[in-house]
Chains A and B, each alone.
Chain A
Amino acid sequence: MSLWLHIVLPIFLETSFLSAALYCVYRAEKNRIYPAFWQFLLFSAVSQAIQLVDLSLNGLHLLSGVHAYYVDYYVYWVSFGISTVLILRVLHEMFRHAVRSIPGVQKLGEPIFFWAVTVSVILAFASGITPHATGMSIVLASAQVLMRSQSVLTLCMLTFLAFASNTLGVPFRSRIFGVTFGLGMIAVSNLVISAFFGTQTTLFNTPNLVHQGVYLAAITVWAGYFVQPEPARRLVTMPVTSPLMRWNDVAQTLGNPAGQVAVSYPPSFMTDVFDLVENVMGPNGRPQRATSSTGPIAS
Chain B
Amino acid sequence: MKIAVRALVLGMLITGFAADHMLASKSVATTPNTTMVASNSASPVPMCEPGSTCGLNK
Contacts and interface: CB of A to CB of B under 8 A. Distances in A.
Contacts of B52: 66, 69
Contacts of B38: 144, 147-148, 151, 190-191, 193-194
B35 A198 contact: yes
Which of A44, A127, A198 has the most chain B CB atoms closer than 10 A to its own CB? A198
B55 A152 contact: no
Given A151-B16, A203-B56, A216 B33 contact: no
Contacts of A68: 53, 56-57
Contacts of A96: none
Given A66-B51, A68-B56, A199-B47, A145 B36 contact: yes
A76 interface: yes
A195 B19 contact: yes
Contact of A147 (B1, B36, B47): B36
Contacts of A7: 43-44, 56
A203 B40 contact: no
Interface residues of A, number: 81
Contact of B9 (A80, A147, A162, A198): A162
A171 B51 CA distance: 50
A148 B4 CA distance: 27
Nearest to B6: A162
B43 A133 contact: no
A194 B50 contact: no
A186 B1 contact: no
Contact of B36 (A76, A156, A194): A194
19 contacts: A13-B42, A14-B43, A44-B41, A58-B57, A68-B56, A69-B52, A73-B50, A80-B40, A141-B31, A148-B38, A187-B16, A190-B39, A191-B38, A195-B23, A198-B26, A200-B48, A202-B55, A203-B45, A203-B56
Interface of A: 3, 6-7, 10-11, 13-14, 44, 47-48, 51, 55, 58-59, 61, 64-66, 68-70, 72-74, 76-77, 79-80, 83-84, 87, 127-128, 130, 132-133, 137, 140-141, 144-145, 147-148, 151-152, 155-156, 158-159, 162-163, 165, 172, 181, 184-188, 190-205, 207-208, 211-212, 215-216
Given A3-B56, A76-B43, A148-B23, 17 more contacts: A10-B42, A47-B41, A59-B57, A69-B56, A79-B41, A141-B36, A147-B36, A148-B36, A152-B20, A158-B13, A188-B19, A191-B20, A192-B15, A199-B37, A199-B47, A203-B56, A205-B44
